[in-house]
């Protein structure tokens, strides 16, 4: 089985490569804009530069590689930048998906598309796969449109929606709520964290595992992938402080009205993941288990980085 991954230099892309490197019957083709970072120094996969906004390059790479499965993780995901640079967002999150789908159809490749809880309004969370998308910002709008393209493409597909992904890349170059809270508190920096938004966080390794479960089963349809427990960011910050034994008096509660951001956020999303558990055999870590996993990973990285 040959699996082509877009966005291979991202957090999920790197976790996928690490996971699939242990599967003897899988050939990985990693693609990303720019050079290969190969955080885990793995020799088992082939890297191919790919700018998904270049139609000719998309066609050429997918024709040359002829993958059985495409896992499309590349996207413009900064919500505020999507609001500010709408044309760029649309080109990356929508137009590029159309080109990838056309190429996938010619090669008869199964297409796994990564999407987001931000396709929803956030009024009625937690949500099932049957709930109707109704985004409140441009990022969500672009991802909803991409989902429609996938569904109408005639390609065998799975859409994997996820929420608030956290995890660690060895270079520590990519932040998320856990790393932001941990670093701020370690530096004695007071932080304000909102308590009027609700999410089900997702450990990056769990998300990679879900992609692999879908790929090897060629499971079709839409799947919600996250932790089962719903939290506010404020509650998550307190759990991070407790786990890493940091001063949680530095954390103060606030609400989203106190922040001026270009893009609105859906107040309450969060996922009901019964479908993924039943049909895929998906079993995520709890948030506390995810923190423990990250803590162990950090210790290994620190040993490598220490002189």
pLDDT digits (tens, 9 = 90+) for 68-77: 999 999 999 9
Q: What percent of the chain has pLDDT over 90?
A: 87
pLDDT of 184 higher than 90: yes
Domain regions of the chain by residue span: 2-167+201-228+269-287
The CA distance from 213 to 225, in Å, is: 11
pLDDT digits (tens, 9 = 90+) for 286-296: 999 999 999 98
Its pTM stands at 0.95
Confidence of residue 297 (pLDDT cuts 50, 70, 90): confident
User: Tell me: domain 2-167+201-228+269-287, CATH 2.10.109.10, correct?
Assistant: no
Report the mean per-residue pLDDT for the chain. Answer: 94
pLDDT at 45: 79
pLDDT digits (tens, 9 = 90+) for 196-231: 999 999 999 999 999 999 999 999 999 999 999 999
The CA distance from 282 to 291, in Å, is: 19
Mean pLDDT within 133-142: 98
């Amino acid at each position: 089985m040959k699996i082509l991954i877009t966005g291979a230099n991202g957090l999920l892309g790197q976790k996928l490569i690490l996971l699939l490197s242990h599967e003897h019957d899988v050939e990985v083709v990693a693609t990303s804009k720019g050079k290969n970072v190969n955080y885990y120094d793995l020799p088992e996969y082939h890297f191919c530069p790919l700018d998904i906004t270049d139609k000719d390059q998309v066609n050429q790479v997918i024709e040359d590689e002829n993958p059985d499965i495409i896992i499309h993780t590349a996207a413009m995901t900064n919500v505020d930048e999507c609001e500010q640079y709408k044309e760029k967002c649309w080109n990356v999150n929508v137009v590029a998906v159309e080109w990838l789908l056309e190429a996938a159809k010619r090669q008869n490749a199964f297409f796994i598309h990564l999407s987001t809880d931000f396709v929803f309004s956030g009024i009625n969370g937690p949500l099932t796969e049957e709930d109707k998308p109704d985004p409140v910002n441009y990022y969500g709008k672009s991802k909803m449109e991409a989902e429609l393209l996938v569904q109408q493409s005639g390609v065998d597909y799975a859409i994997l929606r996820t929420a608030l992904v956290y995890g660690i890349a060895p270079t520590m170059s990519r932040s998320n709520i856990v790393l932001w809270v941990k670093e701020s508190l370690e530096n004695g920096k007071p932080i304000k964290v909102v308590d009027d938004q609700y999410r089900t966080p997702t450990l990056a390794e769990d998300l990679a595992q879900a992609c692999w479960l879908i790929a090897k089963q060629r499971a079709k349809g839409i799947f919600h992938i996250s932790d089962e427990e719903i939290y506010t960011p404020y509650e998550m910050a307190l759990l991070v402080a407790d786990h890493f034994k940091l001063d949680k008096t530095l954390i103060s509660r606030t609400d989203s009205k106190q922040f001026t951001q270009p893009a609105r956020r859906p107040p309450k999303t969060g996922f009901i993941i019964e479908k993924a558990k039943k049909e895929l055999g998906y079993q995520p870590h709890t948030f506390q288990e995810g923190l423990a996993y990250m803590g162990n990973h950090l210790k290994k990285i620190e040993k490598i980085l220490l002189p």
